[in-house]
Amino acid sequence: MDDAQLFIMAAQHAGFGAEAAAATLAWARGYLGDVGQPGQRLYIFRSASNGTGTSELSAATPPARPRTLLAFRNADTALSFAQKAGLGRAPRLASMGIGHLLAALIQRPSITTLIVADDDDTSLHAGLPVGVRIERGALLDQLQIADCRL
């Protein structure tokens, strides 16, 4: 299953139509620019503590604090950030497409923001790399708008 299909299935499971999901994915890809294009892979740091929201977690019982899904354009920048931030002795990376990351925003209410970090790994804001952000609420709003139009 490709990334687009994964996102469309997640959106359908959340009650949105396939056409609305496809339109929202196109919106997200346009918003993200070159990193959102089909086939483009992004890298996330996986932690055992559910910090990225990638391990099994019940959607009905979100953690006490909101989570941010942090993605990088290349593996070297991701590893550099993980090492500088002290996120583990042996950082584990996962490669995902934008559809997979957006599906996580829909499926896991505890993940409130997706940040796709800029290539420059020196700029930090509140301890996180600067980059393009998609908030869960904005993604759900786009799905709702597209669902109403179609």
Which one is predicted more confidently, 118 or 87?
A: 118
What is the residue extent of each domain of the chain?
A: 3-55+64-149
- pLDDT, tens digit, 9 for 90 and up, residues 40-81: 899 998 765 444 334 434 444 555 688 999 999 989 888 888
Which of helix, strand or coil describes residue 60?
coil
Share above pLDDT 70 across residues of the chain, in percent, rounded to a whole number: 85
Radius of gyration, CA atoms only, the chain: 15
List 125's β-bridge partners, or say none: 128
Per-residue model confidence (pLDDT) at position 35: 65
The pLDDT value given to residue 51:
41
41 neighbors 95 (Cβ within 8 angstroms): yes
pLDDT in tens, 126-136: 778 889 999 99
